[in-house]
Structure 1
Amino acid sequence: MPVVNRIADYSADMTAWRRHLHTIPELGLECHLTAAFVAERLREFGVDELHEGIARTGVVAIINGQGNGPTMGLRADMDALPISEETGVEYASTHPGKMHACGHDGHTAMLLGAAKYLAETRNFKGRVALIFQPAEEDGGGGEVMVREGVMDRFDISEVYAIHNAPGKALGHFFTNPGPIMAAADTFHIRVTGKGGHAARPHDCVDPVVASCAIVQALQSISSRNHDTAGSLVVSVTQIHTGTTDNVIPETAYINGTVRTFDKEVQAMVVRRMEEIVSGHAASFGLRAELEFEYGYPPTVNDAAKAGFAAEVASEIAGAAQVDAAFEPVMGAEDFSYMLEARPGAYLMLGQGDGAGVHHPLYNFNDDIAPMGASFFARLVERAQPVDGA
């Protein structure tokens, strides 16, 4: 089955919704205008329940189907990024320094399209919970919504989400039966030595030399302490120290990110970092402190739910356009918290050529919105069919 005909009829609406949202990007949990627009559309569609103010600006809408059954959760993220837009499109951001550079405006439009169809047809049992989430980019809105009880409050039994994929074939779906995105952790290392005149290094304890050694040793974690066939990233992204050419500074700061899929690997990285930092502090005769900041956990699909989602995607796009063994990526996603709370699946939807996400020239491809909305709708209808359907 291709794109649902009724949803295809909404294409112009979804484009208009998306482009309006694109003009009013908002950050973090402060998605007030976006949430108000979403709530207004949902009221127009005639949803049965509308719950606002979850995770400050999150929205959950309930649509009842025909008869008793479970509640399926469908999630879209709503927030934007602190990037100045350079697309030049007529519907560009009107909020300086803010931009929908990751396509969350498109994700929201797709879920609104599915909501309109499901509220109109109600060709399913049980209920569907439409989750419009703020703060995916920063602030962990997914975690906040789970912590505020959305899964239990609305009795959600399984949950699904889609993300657009620039550079991937237009209309192709991608998923897998396990980890699909990585945990994203941050580390901070503060090195304290003894500053002094650069012409008399023997009177100093140089944090610059120690920092260089620490950075080099950190690179050995992925190359010497981890199976090379596995996925692990340890990247140093900042080193800050010193103010001028003839002064050995007192302190240095090292910062970076760690990406893992497995908690045991994550624990190994923390242990090795502690050993490297403390060992180098001792060898250089100075003080070095590690702060490891745990971020979003890995996004891990339930194998059965991912398989089912791939079947539904095949109905929309055709089996040849669905990759159900997608290679995991090292980016992170706070939908991970929802998948920790309930089984479900996360999918990518190719949107063709164009600038990548988090780029000032990025723009969501409106052509894929009917495909994403059709996937969401058919997912509900297939998982919770009406008797005799």
Structure 2
Amino acid sequence: MPTINRIASFHKDMTAWRHDIHRHPETAFEEVRTADIVADKLKSFGIEVHRGLAKTGVVGVLRSGTSKRSIGLRADMDALDVHETNRFAHASTIPGKMHACGHDGHTTMLLGAARYLAETRNFDGTVNFIFQPAEENEGGGRVMVEEGLFGKFPCDGVYGMHNIPGIPVGHFAVRPGPMMAATAIFEIVVKGVGTGAALPHRGVDPILAGSHIVTALQSIVARNVDPMDNAVISTTQFHAGTTWNVIPLECTLRGTVRVFKESVQDIVEKRMESIARNVAEGLGAALARWRYERRNPPTVNSVQEAENAARAASTLVGAENVDRTPTPLMAGEDFAWMLLKKPGCYIWIGNGDGEGGCMVHSPGYDFNDEILPLGASYWATLVEQQLARQDE
């Protein structure tokens, strides 16, 4: 697999870094240990380190030459609230938390690129290495932007990367325009009348009403959204009751919505509330709480920066191994907030189908160490091309 030789020479070091981070997962805004590791390594490479944005964020700044040009490279650091089922030596040591999305690998690849670029400095300008907390659910990217990321660390363009199981090792995928969907969360609390389970006619069953709401919500995508548009409504939590023989007072439904267009988001939000309220009332219950929170906008690549990313990837693996027309994913990504402020690009790197080949957010997932030097080489190549030394 084509990689920069110097980066390939410290592949074992990167693997050790990644395994250490994987063993000690930290979730949103709690990435203290991980941030310490990142900051210490950047300092050891001779890179200027800044801390404090979004609580646990780290930004490394590396300058070379005299050019005013600048580039931002972003990696996410946080883990998920998932109990790991893997049994290998570097499995999570924190019950109920694991790196189930590969952010340990993303952090390591950017550290590898930082080490190489600090050694070689074969570029003219400024590189901002952005290590972001809280990508999963809590919007760390938005917080970094709101707290002045690009005012403090100017970037002509900003770039992100994510591993994707199912894309072969040695392959990339990137396109201009939408790559990932906008995200929202919802919460529906249905209130009934509690009673004994043997006497359902003496109460109002919120579980029955909640079950009908879950089913009815699926009619929105099927019958209210234009078939040429995209939308996903997934109820991911259903909480009710504490014992076998009592119909509880209420039930709580929670889940997520994914779309690409704000107009579709408007339709979905309005219809969800209407369905929840009317189905509950139709069954004698009541909608006690309705919450719909729009989290991340869609992740949209700018045209020139997508071309820049494709060029860097093609330099390493060949144009034939860079998919320039991938189907956008309905998954969300808070890197979108950075793309709202700066032109940029989000690229996918293949994680393969072998070890670690199960999909992200699975308790059996693991980042593929084989691609660590390739990802680091992509970052380094992107910098050397975009901040190439100009002829005198």
Per the normalisation by structure 2, the TM-score is 0.91
The aligned residue for residue 223 of structure 1 is 222
SS in 1 for 2:209: helix
How far residue 318 of structure 1 moved from its aligned partner, in angstroms, is: 0.8
Cα contact 2:210–2:280 (8 A) shared by 1: no
Q: Deviations over 1:94-134 (max 9, x none)?
A: 33433222221211111111111211222222201001112
The aligned residue for residue 121 of structure 1 is 120
Q: Which amino acid aligns with 1:33?
A: R
The aligned residue for residue 22 of structure 1 is 22
Instruction: Tell me: CA distance 1:93–1:303, structure 2 relative to 1, closer, same or farther (3 Å).
Output: same
Instruction: Tell me: CA distance 1:238–1:101, structure 2 relative to 1, closer, same or farther (3 Å).
Output: closer
How far residue 245 of structure 1 moved from its aligned partner, in angstroms, is: 6.9
The aligned residue for residue 340 of structure 1 is 340
Q: Distance in 1 between matches of 2:56 and 2:194?
A: 49
Which blocks of at least 5 consecutive residues in structure 1 are unaligned? none
How far residue 185 of structure 1 moved from its aligned partner, in angstroms, is: 1.6
Give the stretch that moved more between structures: 232-241 or 217-226.
Answer: 232-241
Give the stretch that moved more between structures: 265-274 or 251-260.
Answer: 251-260
The aligned residue for residue 260 of structure 1 is 259
Instruction: Tell me: CA distance 1:243–1:8, structure 2 relative to 1, closer, same or farther (3 Å).
Output: closer
SS in 1 for 2:270: helix
The aligned residue for residue 374 of structure 1 is 377
Instruction: Tell me: CA distance 1:363–1:283, structure 2 relative to 1, closer, same or farther (3 Å).
Output: closer
Instruction: Tell me: CA distance 1:249–1:87, structure 2 relative to 1, closer, same or farther (3 Å).
Output: closer
Per the normalisation by structure 1, the TM-score is 0.92
The aligned residue for residue 388 of structure 2 is 385
The aligned residue for residue 166 of structure 2 is 167
The aligned residue for residue 157 of structure 1 is 156
How far residue 241 of structure 1 moved from its aligned partner, in angstroms, is: 3.7
Q: Distance in 2 between matches of 1:359 and 1:193?
A: 35
Give the stretch that moved more between structures: 86-95 or 214-223.
Answer: 86-95
Q: Distance in 2 between matches of 1:16 and 1:212?
A: 47
Q: Deviations over 1:275-321 (max 9, x none)?
A: 22333355445421421122232222222211221121111111111
Q: Distance in 2 between matches of 1:192 and 1:273?
A: 17
Count residues with an aligned counterpart.
Answer: 388
Q: Which amino acid aligns with 1:375?
A: Y
How far residue 10 of structure 1 moved from its aligned partner, in angstroms, is: 2.6
Q: Distance in 2 between matches of 1:64 and 1:245?
A: 65
Instruction: Tell me: CA distance 1:195–1:98, structure 2 relative to 1, closer, same or farther (3 Å).
Output: closer
SS in 2 for 1:100: coil
SS in 2 for 1:279: helix
Give the stretch that moved more between structures: 158-167 or 208-217.
Answer: 208-217
Give the stretch that moved more between structures: 163-172 or 275-284.
Answer: 275-284
SS in 1 for 2:82: coil
SS in 2 for 1:128: strand
The aligned residue for residue 135 of structure 1 is 134
Q: Distance in 2 between matches of 1:245 and 1:128?
A: 60
The aligned residue for residue 44 of structure 1 is 44
Instruction: Tell me: CA distance 1:207–1:357, structure 2 relative to 1, closer, same or farther (3 Å).
Output: closer
Q: Which amino acid aligns with 1:373?
A: A
Give the stretch that moved more between structures: 250-259 or 109-118.
Answer: 250-259
Q: Deviations over 1:56-112 (max 9, x none)?
A: 221101111211222210011112223333333233333343322222121111111
Q: Distance in 1 between matches of 2:118 and 2:358?
A: 35
The aligned residue for residue 9 of structure 2 is 9
Which blocks of at least 5 consecutive residues in structure 2 are unaligned? none
SS in 2 for 1:144: helix
Q: Distance in 2 between matches of 1:143 and 1:37?
A: 23
Cα contact 2:185–2:293 (8 A) shared by 1: yes
| From 348, 351, 363, the counterpart of 1:360 | 363
Cα contact 1:167–1:350 (8 A) shared by 2: yes
Cα contact 1:85–1:93 (8 A) shared by 2: yes
SS in 1 for 2:138: coil
Cα contact 1:307–1:324 (8 A) shared by 2: no
Q: Which amino acid aligns with 1:359?
A: S
How far residue 195 of structure 1 moved from its aligned partner, in angstroms, is: 3.9
| 1:78-117 to 2 correspondences below 5 Å | 78-117=77-116
The aligned residue for residue 300 of structure 1 is 300
How far residue 2 of structure 1 moved from its aligned partner, in angstroms, is: 4.0
SS in 2 for 1:385: coil
Cα contact 1:182–1:332 (8 A) shared by 2: yes
Q: Which amino acid aligns with 1:363?
A: D
SS in 2 for 1:156: coil
Q: Which amino acid aligns with 2:373?
A: P
Q: Which amino acid aligns with 2:259?
A: T
Instruction: Tell me: CA distance 1:290–1:363, structure 2 relative to 1, closer, same or farther (3 Å).
Output: same
The aligned residue for residue 317 of structure 2 is 317
Q: Distance in 1 between matches of 2:328 and 2:110?
A: 24
Cα contact 1:66–1:123 (8 A) shared by 2: no
How far residue 337 of structure 1 moved from its aligned partner, in angstroms, is: 1.6
SS in 1 for 2:332: coil
Q: Distance in 2 between matches of 1:376 and 1:387?
A: 20
